[in-house]
Amino acid sequence: MVLSPELRASALHCLLETDPAAKARQVAAMARAHACGAMLLDAGAVLDASGAIPGRPPRPELVAPRLVGRRSMVTIEGRAMLIHALAHIEFNATNLALDALWRFRDMPADYYTDWLRVSAEEAVHFTLLAAHLQSLGFQYGDFPAHDSLWEMVDKTRGDVLARMALVPRTLEARGLDAIPPLRAKLAQAGDLAAAHILDLILREEVGHVEIGNRWYGYLCRQRALEPRAIYAELAAQYEAPVLKGPFNLEARRLAGFTEEELDAMR
């Protein structure tokens, strides 16, 4: 597929792509074109999405979270199930970054550059995990997966403030808490290659959550809203999950959470 020279239109084309490997390649090509100055910023353009959002492959089968299966570290298949679940998260994260890029009009130029960066990094994360999954004898799509992350993306499609509040700084921020213990399990099982991939993902996810926090703060200031109060309202309105510890407070601090927010998590 030939990418559009307009950034948001190009992001929409990538989002509609159904083949995961092709999507990752197209996102990388879009990022390279933007870095070379070959992309126009169509921030105010009205775009028409003519296709299912997001573009998905026919597999994996999407099921309720309780049906995804037990991920034992004792067997190769159990480890593969965990790697598959992580790859699915990164595939969805690529899509959510593309959606944030194309969907919301008339934001500052840096907003689109930030979400382009996120989409490119998430696509790399997916590619690394999918390749590692293949090294274990499995393919992305071989196990069922759930769709909880994208469900919140869809719920917040009408308001960029709600999107920033409840996707990057709520659901994606859970990765900051979850990755260290998962990394430890994989390393203990002898899968150091997977552990090193998670090291990269954690470092870059801090930056992704920081982007969500930063644009959430910008939008709150623009709309003259108190961040903590409106967050509570949005979480209730959109039925966001109630987060439970333990929390990775240091990573959350690096990602831009305030000390008041961190104190409330202790």
Closest to 87 measured CA to CA, from 53, 59, 116:
59
Give residue-wise pLDDT tens across range 89-139.
999 999 999 999 999 999 999 999 999 999 999 999 999 999 999 999 999
Give residue-wise pLDDT tens across range 195-206.
999 999 999 999
Sign (positive or negative) of CA dihedral 3, 104, 100, 48? negative
Between vectors from CA 53 to CA 49 and to CA 55, what angle results, nearest 5°? 115
**Cα 115 to Cα 215: distance, rounded to the nearest angstrom:** 11
pTM: 0.96
Cis peptide before 65 (omega within 30 of 0): no
192-199 contacts: CB < 8 A, separation 24 or more?
193/132, 193/135, 194/79, 194/83, 194/129, 194/132, 197/125, 197/128, 197/129, 197/132, 198/86
Please report the pLDDT score of residue 48 as a whole number: 85
Please report the pLDDT score of residue 139 as a whole number: 97
Regions in the chain scoring below 50 on pLDDT: none
Beta bridge partners of 40: 6
Taking each continuous run of H as one helix and of E as one strand, the counts in the chain are 11, 0
Pick the CATH number of 7-265 from 1.20.1510, 1.10.405, 3.40.50, 1.20.1260: 1.20.1260
Q: Which helix (H) or strand (E) holds 130?
A: helix 109-135
Q: Is 6 helix (H, G, I), strand (E, B) or coil?
A: strand
The per-residue pLDDT of the chain, averaged, comes to 94
Please report the pLDDT score of residue 2 as a whole number: 53
Please report the pLDDT score of residue 73 as a whole number: 83
Please report the pLDDT score of residue 74 as a whole number: 82
